[in-house]
Amino acid sequence: MALCCYEGSAPDEGPSAEANAILVTAGHSAKGRFIVKALFEAKKGFQVKALVDDPFSEQSQVIADMGAMVVKGSISTLERIWLATKGCGTAICCLDPMDIVTDDAKATHERVLNFAEHCHEKKIRNFVLCGDYAELQKLDVDPAAELLKLGFKSVHVVAQPLFCFEDFTERLGGMFVGLSKNSCRMELDVDPKSELPMACAEDAGKIVANCALNPSRLTENPIRVNATARTLEGYAKDLSEATGIQVSYARSASTGRISAKEALQYKQIISAYGTHGQKRMEGIKSKDFLLWAEDVKFSFKEFLKNIRRSNSKPTGNSESLMAMEEMNLLNQLKKVNKDASHVVDDFYYLHIAIVVVITIITSTIATIICFSS
């Protein structure tokens, strides 16, 4: 991972009182979540807003509980994120794997620039970009220079892998199949020899947050953080060594619990890295994958145990499942904004009242038809 800072025509000391908020994209991802966590841990008093794909997902609830305002949106939905950008002085564009146009690096670059231009139009003065720009380097453009032309006071670029270690229990967690108490298998339609570069999201989040909180701090040399590049077979071997669970990898066209759209996207991204050996930047001490796996071995075992439990649960009838989904949605809505709990309760009772009224009207009509016939 490398960091570069570029400053515009005037110094800037961070979000002002009038723009006392920091926007983070891909807040639902592990990378985005640890950025949000680091921002709050700094205790600088800034409000944090996070763009997420689903405000009611478990991942979004985690950052909502931290105190972040979660808003549905991404760098591709500019027409829907006006509330998120309002009042922000700094934007952190954390590129998610689903933000990448896999077969067109120029399109990805334009997507980022369009989002940045939108942020500048909303009076955001500082911009932090973090993502894997290996493909964009083929365009012979300097992303920071392009962003600076838009008029930002300061621009930081943090180059880091699209995937992180924590993805093994999140976005890539759906590839674990064939689970038993002491073994499991990872399945994805990727060449076993393809290398996947990754970094620790927690370590990266602290660096990115530091950029946002100190926008005018310049660095003469790139700040480098260790990253790991292994094949999926290599990662499986490390997981086995760290956890004591026999983890293997097998290439499979089956998408498991990963959606077909995401599985295809991941396949294209990982395949593009190739099998020639990834040269990763080294510098500031950061966890490598094996150390990370040893640190999280107990939570990883619990993660696999929860998958086994969910696989063994009875499906139930459609009515009971629908009722459970409604209650889950209401409970999640309460968690998004605890101050709005009474609104949710009112909505729930109104929902019940409407169902009762419809039932009475339907029964009455049926009775009238029965007597008239």
Could you report the per-residue pLDDT of 209-248, keeping only the tens digit for each? 998 998 876 554 456 667 889 999 999 999 999 999 999 9
Q: DSSP letters of 121-166?
A: HTT--EEEEEE--TTGGGGT--HHHHHHTTT-SEEEEEE--SEEGG
Q: Per-residue pLDDT averaged across 146-166, rounded?
A: 90
Q: Does residue 281 surpass a pLDDT of 80?
A: no
> How many angstroms separate the CA atoms of 261 and 263, rounded?
6
Note the pLDDT of residue 282: 53
Q: Does residue 163 surpass a pLDDT of 50?
A: yes
Q: Per-residue pLDDT averaged across 98-110, rounded?
A: 86
Architecture of the 21-312 domain? 3-Layer(aba) Sandwich (3.40)
Closest CA to 2 of 152, 161, 115: 161
pLDDT-derived band at 206, boundaries 50, 70, 90? very high
Q: Which residues contact 274 (CB under 8 A, 6 or more apart)?
A: 194, 195
Closest CA to 262 of 159, 190, 178, 200: 190
pLDDT-derived band at 145, boundaries 50, 70, 90? confident
Mean pLDDT check: name the lowest of 65-69, 252-256, 273-277, 317-321: 317-321
Adjacency order of strands within the sheet including 154-159: 69-72, 47-52, 21-24, 90-94, 126-131, 154-159, 2-7, 223-224
Q: What angle do CA 337, 340, 346 make, to 5 degrees?
A: 140
Count Cβ neighbours within 10 Å for each residue of 80-108 and write b for 16 or more, e otherwise.
Answer: ebeebbebbbbbbbbbbbbbbbbeebeeb
Cα→Cα distances 26→30, 93, 127, 238, Å? 9, 8, 15, 28
Note the pLDDT of residue 320: 45
Domain boundaries, the chain: 21-312
Using one digit for the tens of pLDDT, what is the confidence trace for 82-94? 889 999 999 999 9
> How many angstroms separate the CA atoms of 227 and 130, rounded?
14
Note the pLDDT of residue 16: 45
pTM: 0.80
Note the pLDDT of residue 275: 63
| Rounded CA Rg of the chain | 24
